[in-house]
Amino acid sequence: MRRLVSFAILAVVVAVLLSGIKGFSFDPSPAAFLSDDDAELEAFNEVAEVFGDSGSIVLVLEASETSLELLKSLTEDIEALDWVKSVLSPTNAVKLGSFNLLKMSIPSESYVYEEEGRLVLNEELLADPLYSNLIVSSDGSYYGVMITIAEGYELSSDKLIAELRSVLDSSGVDNYRLIGESVANSETFRSIIDLTFKYPPFILLAIMAVYVIKFRRISLSLLTLVPPLAAVMVIVGIMGLMELSINSLTVMIPSFIVIIGSAYGMHFLSRFEENIHMRNTVRRTIHEERVLILFSALTTMAGFSSYILLDMKAFQEMGIFVCSGIFLSAIFTITVLPGLVTSKAATRSEVSPPRDVHPIVKKAVIWVVIVLSISSPLLIISIPITIDQYNFFKEDSEIRESARTMKEAFGWLTNYALMVEPVERESISFTADQVENLEALEEELNGIEGISKVMSLFDLSRETNVPLPLMIRMLNSTDVFGDFTSLLVSDNAIRFNLFSSESDSLSAERLKAAVENAIKKFPELNKSFEFTLAGTTLIWKSVNSSVVNNQIQSLIVSFGLIIILLFSIFRSLKSTIIATIPILLTTLFNFIFMAVFRIPLSISTALISGMLMGLVIDYAIHFTIWFRRFGDSRKAYQQTANAILANGLSLVAGFSVLLLSPLLLYVDVAKLMVSGLVVGMVLTLILLPEIASRSERFLSRRKDSS
């Protein structure tokens, strides 16, 4: 009967997976972490709506390796792509002459012209303030092709970059660099795909290797993975049915469920082996393990449940589905495994009792804990609190190389748009005083630290001697400047394009504050116009602010839930306090490791403290339960040490696979999880027995004195 129930449950699990598998989509953009009413996201979308574009990609080519004929052909092929709003290249750059009052026109000529059957570049392009260090480096060694993405295509980075690379590869370009938010999103997307499909088998093999050593049987090792894999299938199916987008945070859900949930099967099968020669082996094992497994799942869920209360959608989804997956892993362990295991699959083997830790080692660990705890405030304040999407990737990755080339060639890496809209009028127009103030504002913007270039209509106005109001009307009514016009002006707004050499969220925050201060110097402009500063780096800044604020909240909520659960289990304040010591120290050491490894507090690392709390508390619970049962710390240690080591090593093995990820985002998670779990095991097996033994001696002295 049990076997029938097990297979029936597994059939339902497969049905749920198959019904939802078609609903998957991936979203590697920073917008996946924010609510739709986020101020920075709203600003970005507003600028995109007014100007009809949503970000840009820069193609960097070495001039010595790229003929102008090839560059022209490339520009035309890129312009033909459906998602391209405009393309600015040296081959379509226009040199404007002085305004002709009689003809009411601006003479123009191309900077690239044909001479004796070949294309020639007018060297004056290198000094043109509009184009220099934008589409050509000031020394002429690099060409740049600036591609703006049409509105509505910003979430299709993977397809856009694939199409663009296809065009470049088919054209015969041997060496090129691509840079921009969409390029970073595309690389993140590839890492998400790898983490979804490539890494799980290696995680399973790593966990299995640990359990094969423990059980000495492949069959039992495989059975430990059945409950978490079934849970993953259900969760993946439900996410597909809900048509949720997978982002760089929620992609870790299946891996977390498998790594954490496999421990429940290990505990069940270990107890099954111990009971193998007793009557009603399966029933006895279920009776002995169900409460411990459920309590273990609940305490681990407490570490993740705090994310449900946060105001970031991706964190909420992470909390809901990991908690659900852990709970399902526990339920499937109790309901599915009993029908799959047989007495033939297990043979009781004698396990040697764990050795006592040498007193010198104990003292060394205690002194290390004391010293690091005292010095922790100095270390913690040095933790980087910033997000830079390019730093998500390893130092030798293609995108980091492209970022360095871009910065070296043109002096900037990211760009912002400062949009100027009239408050009341439907069309844009300026008085002479307003033009003077706007030109003064441009000078202020050029002086801001971190801004290497400002591109605006004033560059054209100065070059042609055309007053700004007339220039706006001419650009909107003629195609003298081609698609490039949309970078500067629309029917009812103009924009300053600010180019910065910095790409991290802290620099973006400082730049925004400086721009706002510059605007405040012109109160007359503020009365008539609305200023909107937008950029993808500012969206990451908003993500970073939410991560830092939510980290404190999640820690408090996680710790509070764990305290409540512990007190409900032990009904003793002393036992609760003893059990919380390892998780408090593990959390503290997590931040110490972040400072030592120079790992910033970012999207993924903000998860670690709560996760470690939920995992390490299981070790403390097991030890404390046996300590209360025996009243002897040494016996409690001997009873629990092997199980804690097996559980901890399986988790360490699973998370260690992420060290191979090309995305530093996941490498940082692996570093912190592995180091945190090792610390949690050491503190539970060395520090907790020492505290418990001192508690025994203290109580003994009190009894003697009374």
Is residue 510 situated within a structural domain? Answer: yes
Domain that residue 462 falls in: 399-539
Is residue 44 situated within a structural domain? Answer: no
Among candidate residues 539, 556, 581, the one where a domain is terminated: 539
Burial level of 571, CB count in 10 A (0-12/13-18/19+)?
A: exposed
| Same structural domain, 570 and 701 | yes
When mean pLDDT is compared across 90-104, 219-233, 413-427, 512-526, the lowest value belongs to: 90-104
| Same structural domain, 616 and 630 | yes
Q: State the pLDDT at residue 482.
A: 65
Place of tokens 């570049």: 121
Distances (CA, A) of 599 to 303, 604, 614, 701: 21, 11, 21, 47
* Residues 533-591: tens digit of each pLDDT: 999 889 888 887 777 666 677 778 888 888 888 888 888 888 888 888 888 899 899 88
Instruction: Find the DSSP H helices in 521-535.
Output: 523-528
| Same structural domain, 168 and 199 | no
Q: State the pLDDT at residue 704.
A: 43
When mean pLDDT is compared across 97-101, 166-170, 458-462, 640-644, the lowest value belongs to: 97-101
**For 446-479, b where at least 16 C-beta lie within 10 A, e where not — what string?**
eebebbbbbbbbbbbbebbebebbebbebbeeee
Average pLDDT over residues 511-518: 95
Among candidate residues 137, 164, 185, the one where a domain is terminated: 185
Q: State the pLDDT at residue 344.
A: 57
When mean pLDDT is compared across 13-27, 202-216, 321-335, 440-454, the lowest value belongs to: 13-27
Please state the domain count of the chain.
3
Instruction: Find the DSSP H helices in 350-455.
Output: 359-380, 398-410, 432-446
| Same structural domain, 549 and 664 | yes
Average pLDDT over residues 57-86: 93
Q: State the pLDDT at residue 353.
A: 64
Q: State the pLDDT at residue 154.
A: 67
| Same structural domain, 497 and 617 | no
| Same structural domain, 413 and 534 | yes
In the three-class reduction of DSSP (H, G, I as helix; E, B as strand; rest coil), residue 26 is classed as strand
State the virtual CA torsion across 326, 330, 336, 342 in degrees, nearest 10: 120
499 bridge partner residues = 415, 453
Distances (CA, A) of 682 to 463, 586, 675: 70, 10, 11
Is a pLDDT exceeding 60 seen at residue 317? yes
Residues 310, 619: Cα–Cα separation, whole Å: 27
Which residue type occupies 460? L
pTM of the model: 0.79
Query: Closest by alpha carbon to 669, among 382, 248, 383, 258?
Result: 248
Is residue 276 situated within a structural domain? Answer: yes
CATH (domain of 212): 1.20.1640.10
| Same structural domain, 482 and 589 | no
| Same structural domain, 275 and 198 | yes
| Same structural domain, 606 and 499 | no
**Residue 435 in tokens:** 């033009």
Residues 435, 456: Cα–Cα separation, whole Å: 12
Cβ–Cβ < 8 Å for 385, 606? no
What is the DSSP code (8-state) at residue 243? Answer: T
Q: What are phi and psi of 109, to 5 degrees?
A: -150, 155
Q: State the pLDDT at residue 554.
A: 74
Is residue 443 situated within a structural domain? Answer: yes
* Residues 255-281: tens digit of each pLDDT: 889 988 988 988 888 888 878 877 788
Is residue 391 situated within a structural domain? Answer: no
Q: State the pLDDT at residue 702.
A: 40
Is a pLDDT exceeding 70 seen at residue 696? no
Is residue 6 situated within a structural domain? Answer: yes
Among candidate residues 482, 507, 539, the one where a domain is terminated: 539
What is the DSSP code (8-state) at residue 30? Answer: G
Percent of the chain beyond pLDDT 90?
Answer: 30
| Same structural domain, 522 and 599 | no
Query: Closest by alpha carbon to 135, among 54, 58, 55?
Result: 58
Cα 124 to chain center, whole Å?
Answer: 44
When mean pLDDT is compared across 64-68, 112-116, 151-155, 636-640, the lowest value belongs to: 151-155
Average pLDDT over residues 378-400: 83
Is a pLDDT exceeding 80 seen at residue 96? no
CATH (domain of 60): 3.30.70
Is a pLDDT exceeding 90 seen at residue 152? no
Residues 629, 644: Cα–Cα separation, whole Å: 18
| Same structural domain, 452 and 576 | no
Is residue 613 situated within a structural domain? Answer: yes
Is residue 393 situated within a structural domain? Answer: no
Cβ–Cβ < 8 Å for 52, 154? no
Distances (CA, A) of 182 to 157, 158, 663, 699: 5, 8, 16, 64
Cβ–Cβ < 8 Å for 580, 682? no
Which residue type occupies 55? G
Which residue type occupies 396? D
For residue 345, what pLDDT band results from cuts at 50, 70 and 90? Answer: low
Cβ–Cβ < 8 Å for 499, 451? yes
Burial level of 622, CB count in 10 A (0-12/13-18/19+)?
A: buried
| Same structural domain, 191 and 177 | no
